[in-house]
Structure 1
């Protein structure tokens, strides 16, 4: 039996329950992981509330697609992993099929990567999703190169911070946007070339000024909604506006016709484009691991919560005050309330 987070109906954080659930042996192509740390993602909040791109197939439903831990058993046909390996789980599956909010979890081996030496469980649960997301869209799909400019919304999120460092890694220029002044210094410290405070500054005017009127080759937007109309105005001719989230919760217009049909590419993007294709994941893993080894990349953890406080962790995520990743630790509780991993 393993303590497992489940919910029996859609709703707020209060619907989350920690229940004892039997864990079977891993089937063909799967591995059993002792989970030491769990990376929280906005997708899980949406899934819990019934607002994700897919709904729960049945109740009780489970959550979680990113974690770090140790391999406890491998299923038939699994190669490259042995019992005792320190690993991370990357989002590469439906939460209707697998989930990692638990003490022990079965996951597909194709969604598991080796944890680089020196990366502990908390860092291992915080680093992969952000950097794989940023790399997948901007480098793998977009082909971002030295000298390009990328505008980043929700820049203080774990993905936003990873995108700043990814841009710097390839010689591109990251321009971060944030609603208030509160996170401006943190974004500059993280490597943003400039920060646009949207409650005080006009995004279009500022980006055009920063790029000498050229605009940005890429816009990487997690918000969507009506703001897309202004973001489209700052995309350089032939550039791409990536929509990888919908934090606004509002209808997203297509602005191409209103802008006079410019050479504008707008596309949605999800991490699964990269993580579910073995060769693309292999290249992405190598890119991130290289950045970790050189120090160009690092996990940014805002706060940790023990598994017992999973509902509080979800409330904190929804409040949007964090800079970086929220991680839930799994294990024996320590005196300060965090779990020993």
Structure 2
């Protein structure tokens, strides 16, 4: 199987739906800002997960499209606001919404995306069996994302954060949307409770592996490859799995470098590199790779509830991709 082709073929179908759904609107500058990030592309993993999980239990993905739109639009709403909070200037290889259109318009554009997500979900008739459950679970996931984001910001003010606290935070901030993307797909596809539980577990573990790999890429790649700012996590004092491990294991000179540089908004590129070298020396980078692999294995194990199919095989390969991707 060709994972890239399997994902892109579904992403192409989804992108047509997304482009059509977000067309038009007045004031023009607001709707241009609203479309700026969603139509710029992205991996589309969340809507593709909804499509694949629905396929895995029903053989088709057409029923899941309004839900897939809702999940992806919510994801983009969180990114617009995250970029403002993190003072990021680059996302998906383009200027961020608040840089391009100004912070006030970017805030409103994020709010509008949130509203449009539930407008997309409203395409389902309320009488369908799973609508109320779908609506409630999606709403709860957004609550978790918001709570996780606040924890992330709270952690920036603390020098030491426990690994258990970090994992709780990313389970809310990142895994919640992976989980609901998978759960919604099988729910709409008519799966049993056992399959729904299995795919919830898959989405949670996949999201954890994905975020931990993201932590690694943010310090090992470059802005051209990732399409976003590099080094901001160090300057903002972001408690990634790598930082959490280093801050609790570093000693001597390594500890002094972290104390002097980590969380320093004016840290130079050389200072950032010094912190990266500490992460490597302490063994935190290898630790992150190990944790991503553990969650990838857990995700694949959770798929045992599914019958064999091409969709299931793609989901297995996605779990491997989550811990090996380069951007």
In the superposition, the TM-score normalised over structure 2's length comes to 0.25
In the superposition, the TM-score normalised over structure 1's length comes to 0.25
**Greater RCO structure (CA 8 Å; 6+ sep):** 2
Higher strand share: 1
Higher helix share: 2
